[in-house]
Amino acid sequence: MGLVFISIPLLSVLLAKRNYNATKNLKETTVYEFNADNIIVKGETFNLTFRWASLYKVTELNDWLLLYTNKIIAVCIPKSGFKSEDDLNEVKAFALNAKGVKKELRTTTATRQPATR
């Protein structure tokens, strides 16, 4: 029985490593652009645009902002990637205004409305 508990996590790590090495775009530098309606993701070999309203959930952790596209898949954005706390707060305000999206955000720093551009 103990062998099962050891082999399952090991197999998970090995499969994750294999998938990472086999997927080129996971290794690319990725740039995120946010506005009130859309999230734009750009890599060296891809461009992706999706609407805030298409998200399932937005969750804030200590060091990450997670944009769930469904119940189990999330786009993970490091908070350290934002130029400033104001930029992070603006993105959180966009998320708070998205209709039909579950939110698990620390609202104390995201209560201001996004600036119009």
Q: Measured between alpha carbons, how far is 44 from 7 in angstroms, rounded to an integer?
A: 36
Q: Measured between alpha carbons, how far is 25 from 43 in angstroms, rounded to an integer?
A: 7
pLDDT less than 50: residues of the chain: 109-112, 116-117
- The pTM of the whole model exceeds 0.75: no
- On average, the pLDDT of the chain sits at 85
- Express each pLDDT in 80-93 by its tens digit: 999 999 999 999 99
* ∠ Cα 97 65 15 (to 5°): 135
Domains parsed from the chain with CATH numbers:
2-109 (2.30.29)
Q: Measured between alpha carbons, how far is 8 from 107 in angstroms, rounded to an integer?
A: 38
